[in-house]
Amino acid sequence: MALSIPPGKFWGGNNGNWSTFRLILSPSNPQNLNVLPSFLTSQIWVPSYEICNNASVLGKVSIPQCYTRRGGTYNSSNSHEAFVSGASTLPISGRPAIFGTDNATIGDPPTITIGREIVAGYTTLQPFLGNFGLSGATTTLPFDTPENATSYGILTDLWKQSLIGSRVWGVNVGASYRGVPASLTLGGYDAERGNADGDVVTVPMNADKNVTDGDLVVEVRGVGIGNGGSPAASFMTGLPATAVVDSLVPDIFLPDATCAYFEETFGLVWDNPSRRYFLNETQHERLVTMNASVSIAVGIPGGDGNALKTITLPYAAFDVNVTWPLNGITGPNGTKRYFPLQRASGNYYLGRVFLQEVYLAADYERRTFNVSQAKWPAGGKKDIRMVVSSSTTTVVTPASSQNGSGLSSGAITGIALGVVAILAVLGLIFWFMRKRRRTEAEKAGRQISRPKNIGSSSFGPRASTRVGTPAEKSPAFATQPYRDTKLSPAPMTGVSASDTWRTTISGRHELSTPQTAQFVSPMPDPASELPGQWKNPWAGPVEMDAAVELPAYESDRLPRKWSSQRYQF
């Protein structure tokens, strides 16, 4: 089966406006958090409640505002089900955290109880919102807790419990400018949101062995910048470049030379101290008026140059703001507009801004993922397609076009039920005719010879009358391989040792810096014992007078500032 997880009502973040999912830890004494999906880990990371009790962090923001802005915080001491293991560091950013396990439920309303998962509570400013990991990786904690030493993660645990049919997910992170929240399907994908046949590029996971930041790696082949429409993506200086597709990163990181084209076309000016392209209102209005858009062509690293998918993003996708506590903003209503592109040299990322217009379908059993342009069905329509496990003979394929000749899952189910009904009627007729013949024969004094082998008859062995679910019968799972199989690794039938999470990271995850995440004990003092390469991202020059006061933040719906009314699609 496949599970469609409903998104939460909370939109938040301090570097954009992001759709979140409701996560409940310790359901018997619930602690509600609003979190983002993550592709780089299989763990749950949540801000610890202590962060909002630190006056030096709060600035002019109240404690309740801090709790709300960060999507809620976690207190393991208040959990009836938590088991605290010890102090360590987050495997991606290297930030200090307290690790343990707790029971978790996800969805709004709650959709599925995941069970006991590894939970890391951190007291750092970033990641600003918590996240729940969708990776197929395995985590082993180095603490003396054998019963909690190893976690397979949310995706694998649900699969092992037979709550989903495979270690597959489909994700779109949502788009506030369209007024459309995130979409998450576990064990399959939503064909109404993307992954349509003919509209995908299929990429092997870890296709570039030199990149160790994540499983989802693509090659950026071309970029197009234009006025409206879908500008053709063309080769630019600095390309092609291998990039990690990463939901923990808010921005897009491209080579300096490629960013220069954006600067020239859009009139962007790089602010080196803050490492951002800030926009004033004049620049912003110009980009809105010119109906600016960006196309990014991605493919298989080192693969066929013709296997490409071009993703087009309207300027609305880049219309984001930084808020407290970034860039010297100390008040709850301060904000600064910026263009979420960053110069980089050697480590490139396609983050949440890019993912607003993308639908990803990742298969951790066959080690491939599909990239397609996101779709926006009217009225929140869904078409959930289950993907069966690699232990069977069928594999995940893109959904057939609605204009094609294939039958929908509902139609196939209807046909199956119709066949069963017809057979039942024929059986009743046959039984009635036999009874009538026997009665007539007995009256005539004749003896009837019973038919032999009724169970096999000319229709073959007696078939089961079990009717599968629409997902099980969906034509999207016909027996056929991915189109790009020449570079695909061998199918994976279980949890591989190579799935263990990586510790060497390159530092684009919510302002983290390059370092190796190593377990430390006891917990380092944040002021004096942090890893040697760590640099306080708040210590550099900031523009304290640049914050602009806006109307009060509205936490549980789209803020007026970023409502979809500004843009017409």
Transcribe 445-496 into DSSP letters.
T--PPPPS-TTTTTT-SPPP-----TTTT-GGG-S---S--TTPPPPP-S--
pLDDT score for 57: 84
**What tokens appear for 142 in the block?**
């180095």
Closest CA to 346 of 250, 246, 238, 262: 238
Direct distance between the N- and C-terminal alpha carbons of the chain, in angstroms, rounded to an integer:
34
What is d(CA 258, CA 260) in angstroms, rounded to the nearest whole number? 5
Burial class (CB in 10 A: 0-12, 13-18, 19+), 306: exposed
Which residue's entry shows tokens 């199918």?
Answer: 491
Contact 39, 246 (CB under 8 A): yes
What is d(CA 326, CA 42) in angstroms, rounded to the nearest whole number? 27
pLDDT score for 298: 97
Closest CA to 261 of 286, 231, 285, 289: 231
pLDDT score for 430: 59
pLDDT score for 17: 97
Which residues partner with 368 through β-bridges? Answer: 204, 363
pLDDT score for 523: 29
Tell me which H or E stretch contains 432. helix 409-444
What is d(CA 122, CA 91) in angstroms, rounded to the nearest whole number? 12
DSSP for residue 53: G
Sort strands 18-19 and 11-12 into parallel, antiparallel or unpaired. antiparallel
Contact 344, 238 (CB under 8 A): no
pLDDT score for 435: 55
**What tokens appear for 26 in the block?**
């310790």
pLDDT score for 505: 32
- String of DSSP letters for 279-333: --HHHHHHHHHTTEEEEEEEE-TTS-TT-EEEEEEEGGGG-EEEETTGGG--STT
Closest CA to 44 of 125, 110, 113, 121: 121
Q: Is the peptide bond before 398 cis (omega within 30 degrees of 0)?
A: no
CB atoms under 10 Å from CB of 428, counted, come to 10
Which residue's entry shows tokens 């004990």?
Answer: 521
pTM of the predicted model, to two decimals?
A: 0.73
Residue type, 122: Y
**Per-residue b/e over 322-358, b at no fewer than 16 CB within 10 Å?**
bbbbbbbbebbbbbbbbbbbbbbeebbbbbbbbbbbb
Closest CA to 518 of 47, 43, 97, 145: 97
Query: Apex CA 534: angle with CA 532 and CA 540, to 5°?
Result: 130
Contact 558, 176 (CB under 8 A): yes
pLDDT score for 55: 86
pLDDT score for 474: 32
What is the greatest pairwise CA distance in the chain?
109
Which residue's entry shows tokens 């600016």?
Answer: 292
What is d(CA 365, CA 136) in angstroms, rounded to the nearest whole number? 9
pLDDT per residue as tens, the chain (569 positions): 899 999 999 999 999 999 999 999 999 899 999 999 999 899 999 999 999 998 888 999 999 999 999 999 999 988 888 788 778 778 766 778 888 889 999 999 988 998 889 999 999 888 999 999 999 988 777 665 555 567 789 999 999 999 999 999 999 999 999 999 999 999 999 999 999 888 999 999 988 877 766 789 999 999 999 887 778 887 788 899 999 998 999 999 999 999 999 999 999 999 999 999 999 999 999 999 999 999 999 999 988 777 899 999 999 999 999 999 999 999 999 999 999 999 998 889 999 999 999 999 999 999 999 999 999 999 989 999 999 998 764 445 565 544 443 444 454 555 555 655 666 666 666 556 655 555 554 444 433 333 332 222 222 222 222 222 333 333 333 323 323 322 233 332 232 223 333 323 334 555 343 322 222 222 233 333 333 333 333 333 322 222 322 223 233 333 333 334 456 55
User: What does R_g of the chain's alpha carbons equal in angstroms?
Assistant: 27
What is d(CA 488, CA 62) in angstroms, rounded to the nearest whole number? 51
pLDDT score for 419: 56
CA separation, residue 547 to residues 11, 267, 271, 321 (Å): 21, 21, 15, 11
